[in-house]
Structure 1
Amino acid sequence: MKKYTLIASATMGLESVVKDECKELGFENVTTFNGRVEFDGNEEDIVKANLHLRCADRVFVKMGEFKALTFDNLFENIKRIPWENIITVDGEFPISWVSSVKCKLFSKSDIQRIVKKAIVERLRMAYQTDELVETGAQYRVKIQAHNDIFLIMLDTSGEGLHKRGYRNLINEAPMKETMAAALVLLSRWKGGDRAMLDPMCGTGTIAIEAAMIARNVAPGVNRNFASEKWSIIPENLWVDLRDEAFSKEDYDKEVKIYASDLDEGTIEIARLNAIRAGVDEEIEFKCMNFLELENMAEKGCLITNPPYGDRLLDDDAVERLYGLMGDIFMMRFPKWSYYIITSYENFEKSFGKKATKNRKLYNGGIKCHYYQYYGAR
């Protein structure tokens, strides 16, 4: 199999989580950069990364990286890339995404036009044809330029990896599945005799991702990817690695997950999402105010995404809510660990306790902190 440099793009703040995932999957030469993780891999690893990465946004093949100060530079560098090694003669190759920050070449439309022209010229020469019909598989090209350095990638995923396929119904201010999975992984909760609780669960994303992690359900196993139609990846590889993922699911481990929310309609959506994800038996959903919570186990892990920022603009209301959360959690769940994500800067003061640890994350583009309170071991 051929070796490639692969890229798992990641939300700012989650690069180290994605790096750990890549290492656990056995990928080699794993290196982190702002917003991405690079690693060496072959066609099998392209499939594995798409099926198994829980917190990455997409998986790309790195086609090139170079400095370009003029459009002639850009054209010649793009033309040198052996696109024919991946793109077939009938392949469709839209320049689907361009960013240019602090670069001499800043016109996105001109960059798109030049890159397209250079790839066309390269493929015409490689395939000795005047016409490229672009009716076959799709190979979306992404260009990311910063300080005149151009990073050129092909998108293997298609739709973002957060699109697991179970969440057709959402409420306002939904959290991406990739972020929800990261919150669970950062908590180190994996099921077993420790319970898990989300007392403000919304449509259930954190609870569902937790159940999938506990059961070792591969997040991409029930969806499709752009590279499934690429000729460089044998079709049986997708079948075999999906079968392998299914065979590693764990239905023997004890899993106790509790999720509640104030809104009855939202809880109903959460139940339906859990059914679609195949983890409805692992989660007990209830429509209730968090003030009514009762302790269901001596030790456990509470992970939640309470209202904040644009979701609840009144600072007084936020402070009251977080003060009540602190009182309820510490009084009724004294030995539990708490993991709470919010953009509210004075959270610890309102909550009434300084976090053991906090971590800066970006949830839906909003700068947040993930406050981590370690409970009894």
Structure 2
Amino acid sequence: MNARRCDDLRLTGSGGANRVMEAELKRLVMRSAFDVRVPNPKREGDETLLYPFDARVAWVAACYHRTSSRISWDLCSSAAVRLEPLFEDLVPVLSSDDRLPGGPELRFSVEVGAASDFEASPLQLRGVVKNAIVEALASRGVTADIDSEAPDVVFIVRRAGTPEARRTVVGIDLGGSSRHRRGARVATGLAPLRETLAAQLIMLSRWDARTEPLVDPMTGSATIPIEAAGLAVGAAIRHPSELPWRRLAAFEGLPGETPDLFPGTAAKIVALDADGECIKAMVGNLRAAGLTGAAFDQSIVIGQQDVRRLTPERIEALLPEVRDMRPGVFCINPPYGVRIGGERGEHELLDLYDDMGRALARFSGWRAACFVANPKFVYAFGHHPTMTKPASNANLRGHFLTFQF
């Protein structure tokens, strides 16, 4: 048999996210209620971290971790790349696995991750894993049925490992499916930034929420301010009741509530956009995220402002209660030009980048972090980045860039 038992907590993100994901998890676990240390992870490429499974660490990650796209618990793996050998491998190892959900009945679904080197289609791979799980659970007295709409547990199958030792891995989703679907964005603009990437952008900016203002001068649908507010106080993005844990014995006795991990942090966030229609979407999304009202009047300031005419005096006027304001950070997702056609449109976009660079140069001592998917951005912006990191927003390839002014 080519199957073997696994016991890893798997954090998966966008390309190049490993260091940010690792730093965020350490920060969160250190402030959690658990007396546990996070060991150094194993890495698979630049977008996956593997930790020895600890239900306490998994609880923190699933409830609070913002930069990962998926969080799962690896149960077993097989060297098989064909359907019949995979089925023969999985059934005995899953049948003897006491970590599987118990009870008389189980509704489950199977999702397929990256599996391009498996010698069958994703649909066929999903089917054979489903059949192996049904047979394994039946041997344990559990009647299992597929339910894609409201499953008790979601199993994930993917090809993983180093290039020279790839395996087919089966695990359980712990983090509530795709992590960029926070549920707070009720209105979206053109080419919105995924929430997970917005969190990475803020982490890469090295923003200190206790002492530095954060300004998004092209806020759009407010993804960056919402993530910044959550990161500042260590707010949860998932509640234990929303996660598939009630059928997993490993999570018995763990907390049912998710208090802020950094309570009392009084962040200063400025959300600006030149488009009045964007202001409406911005307010709607902030309201859906619970970030409006008297409690947030002093921490999240909204304004209509063209980035090209932005000045330090304007920011100081928006934050009158901040005396002797320290230099802060800009976090920006500028337009990429994907939807702008023709030579005239490109010239207008490059002129915008140039004007942005001139405006932000007025902010001596400030930093900026941008996600851009236009290769001409740096040239037109007029500033040399202090860091360049490849990334992607959905299927759009781009880069994280940081600048010092």
Please classify the TM superposition score into its range, dividing by the shorter chain length.
0.7 to 0.9
Q: Tell me how large the CA RMSD over aligned residues is.
A: 2.5
Secondary structure of 2:383's counterpart equals coil
In 1: Cα distance, 2:127 partner to 2:371 partner? 42
Taking structure 1 as reference, are residues 84 and 355 closer, same or farther at Cα in structure 2, changes over 3 Å only?
Answer: same
Match of 2:277 in 1: 265
TM-score (norm 2): 0.82
**After superposition, where does 1:323-338 map in structure 2 within 5 Å?**
323-330=354-361, 332-338=362-368
Query: Quick one: which amino acid aligns to residue 33 of structure 1?
Result: E
In 2: Cα distance, 1:183 partner to 1:355 partner? 14
Secondary structure of 1:73's counterpart equals helix
Q: 1:250 aligns with which of 263, 266, 270?
A: 263
In 2: Cα distance, 1:180 partner to 1:98 partner? 23
Taking structure 1 as reference, are residues 98 and 52 closer, same or farther at Cα in structure 2, changes over 3 Å only?
Answer: closer
**How big is the shift at 1:187?**
0.8
Q: 1:162 aligns with which of 180, 196, 201?
A: 180
| Equivalent pairs, count | 363
In 1: Cα distance, 2:372 partner to 2:340 partner? 11
| C-alpha contact 1:16 1:32 (8 A) present in aligned 2 | no
Secondary structure of 1:220's counterpart equals coil
| C-alpha contact 1:8 1:60 (8 A) present in aligned 2 | yes
Match of 1:52 in 2: 64
Query: Quick one: which amino acid aligns to residue 351 of structure 2?
Result: R
Taking structure 1 as reference, are residues 72 and 361 closer, same or farther at Cα in structure 2, changes over 3 Å only?
Answer: same
Match of 2:244 in 1: 227
Q: 1:306 aligns with which of 316, 320, 334?
A: 334
1:199 paired with 2:212, answer: no
**How big is the shift at 1:224?**
5.0
Taking structure 1 as reference, are residues 188 and 33 closer, same or farther at Cα in structure 2, changes over 3 Å only?
Answer: same
Taking structure 1 as reference, are residues 112 and 340 closer, same or farther at Cα in structure 2, changes over 3 Å only?
Answer: closer
- Structure 2 gap ranges (5+): 1-5, 30-36, 316-324
**How big is the shift at 1:368?**
1.0
- Structure 1 gap ranges (5+): none
**How big is the shift at 1:308?**
0.2
TM-score (norm 1): 0.87
In 1: Cα distance, 2:128 partner to 2:266 partner? 56
Match of 2:32 in 1: none
| C-alpha contact 1:27 1:41 (8 A) present in aligned 2 | no
Identity of aligned residues (%): 23
| C-alpha contact 1:157 1:225 (8 A) present in aligned 2 | no
- Off by >4 Å, runs of 4+ in structure 1: 133-137, 233-236
Deviations 1:33-79 (A, max 9, x none): 23321112333333211111110112111012221144332012211
**After superposition, where does 1:166-177 map in structure 2 within 5 Å?**
166-177=184-195
| C-alpha contact 1:8 1:59 (8 A) present in aligned 2 | yes
**How big is the shift at 1:290?**
1.4
Match of 2:83 in 1: 71
Taking structure 1 as reference, are residues 347 and 92 closer, same or farther at Cα in structure 2, changes over 3 Å only?
Answer: same
**How big is the shift at 1:184?**
0.5
Taking structure 1 as reference, are residues 69 and 183 closer, same or farther at Cα in structure 2, changes over 3 Å only?
Answer: closer
Query: Quick one: which amino acid aligns to residue 358 of structure 1?
Result: T
**How big is the shift at 1:217?**
2.0
**How big is the shift at 1:155?**
1.1
Deviations 1:9-55 (A, max 9, x none): 11112122112223332433422223321112333333211111110
| C-alpha contact 1:138 1:226 (8 A) present in aligned 2 | no
Match of 1:138 in 2: 152
In 1: Cα distance, 2:123 partner to 2:291 partner? 45
Match of 1:351 in 2: 381
